[in-house]
Structure 1
Amino acid sequence: MRVITGTAKGRRLKSLKGMETRPTMDRTKESLFNIITEWIPGCRFLDLYAGTGAIGIEAISRGAERAVFIEKNPRAVKIISDNLELTGLSGSAEVFCTDADNAVAVLAKRKQQFDIIYMDPPYGRELVQQSIGQVCRSPILRSEGVIIAESSKVDVLPEKIFCFRLFRQQRYGDTMLSFYRMESGAFTRGEGQC
């Protein structure tokens, strides 16, 4: 697993042994960033269920202003911190050891907002819908922001989840990437009216 391009291009990243995390394959990661490349420079990026941090690190390497990493596994959090040090990108990052729901609440309280939220939860548990619901009820995604959910190809995500509508879906082998935007006029941010 490596950083594909940008300031940390070619740096190898650490990962956890075994199946505690499921790193996004380099081919899928490269395809993802080919799609969102124009959105990255200067953006604020949230990596929910961050695992090794490879996606958020790639975003910073390609010019994201800042990335926040959320991971509840303490061993994975240590790997994320190590990977940020290895790539020299720690100054543009913040890492939280907590679950996604708590993180969304904390980030909202801190008035942090993001242009891109990437989520790659454990497959088969409907955590994408749950986390998108949390985001919908908070002000952490900017009005023109995008949610990108990684899931198994067999976990079919709906066209609409709360106040977000699917606008693109790409399959790479057994992995599906689903892109959501907030429906216009869906609700007033911060009032929780999804």
Structure 2
Amino acid sequence: MRIIAGTARSLPLKAPEGMDTRPTTDRIKETLFNIIQDEVPGAYFLDLFAGSGQMGLEAVSRGARYAVFVDNGKKPAACIEENIRFTKFEHQTKLYPTEVLSALRAMEGKYQFDLIFMDPPYRKGMEQEVLRYLAGSSLLKEDTVLIVEAALDTDFSYLDEYGMTLSRLKMYKTNEHAFIRRK
């Protein structure tokens, strides 16, 4: 696992030990960043269920102004801190080592994000809880892009009731990226 492009290009990143996280492969990460490349420079990027922090660090390397990471696991939080130090992005990042909804509530009034990426545990409905919260949150701008990495069979039929729409779905062999926007 490494930073693919930008100022920290080719720097290797650590992944948390154990089987609790599934780091996004470099190939899928590269595909995702090719899709959002025009929206990254100058963006505020939120990386939820961040694991190693690789998505937010990739965004900062590619010109995002700031990235915020949220992960409540002890090992992932330590790994994110180590990767932030290693990439020397301490001044462009912040880590909330707490549960996602608690972190979102704590961020209200402090941030507005251009891009929100989340990779929650599959098939537990956590993405729906987060999207429900974000639907009424000041953390979203009018044109914020929310990206959910999810299992292929994840249901997003509820988006309409949150005032959101699925603008794009990119499917891979084992998972997908759902691109969600406000209506």
TM-score (norm 2): 0.96
Distance 1:97 1:148, change over 3 A: same
Q: Which residue of 2 aligns with 1:149?
A: 148
The corresponding residue for 2:25 is: 25
Contact in 1 for aligned 2:17/2:75 (Cα 8 Å): no
- The answer to whether 1:129 aligns with 2:128 is yes
| Identical positions, percent | 37
How much has 1:159 moved relative to structure 2? Answer: 6.8
Shift of residue 172 of structure 1?
1.5
Q: Could you tell me which amino acid in structure 2 is paired with residue 13 of structure 1?
A: L
Q: Deviations over 1:126-146 (max 9, x none)?
A: 111110011112110111111
1:16 counterpart = 2:29: no
2:69: which partner in 1?
A: 69
Letter in 2 for 1:158: S
Q: What does 1:24-43 align with in structure 2 at a 5 Å threshold? A: 24-43=24-43
* Matches of 1:90 and 1:111, distance apart in 2: 18
TM-score (norm 1): 0.91
Counterpart Cα distance in 2 of 1:177 and 1:169: 6
Unaligned runs of 5+ in 2: none
Spell out structure 1 runs of 4+ moving beyond 4 A: none
Instruction: Check the 8 A contact 1:159/1:166 in 2, yes or no.
Output: no
Letter in 2 for 1:85: R
What is the RMSD computed on CA atoms of the aligned residues?
1.1
* 1:104 Cα deviation after fit: 1.1
* Counterpart in the other structure of 2:116: 117
Q: Which residue in the other structure is 1:81 paired with?
A: 81
Give the whole-Å Cα distance in 1 for the aligned partners of 2:158 and 2:31.
Answer: 21
CA distance in 1, matches of 2:151, 2:129: 16
Distance 1:65 1:16 in 2: 25
Aligned length: 182
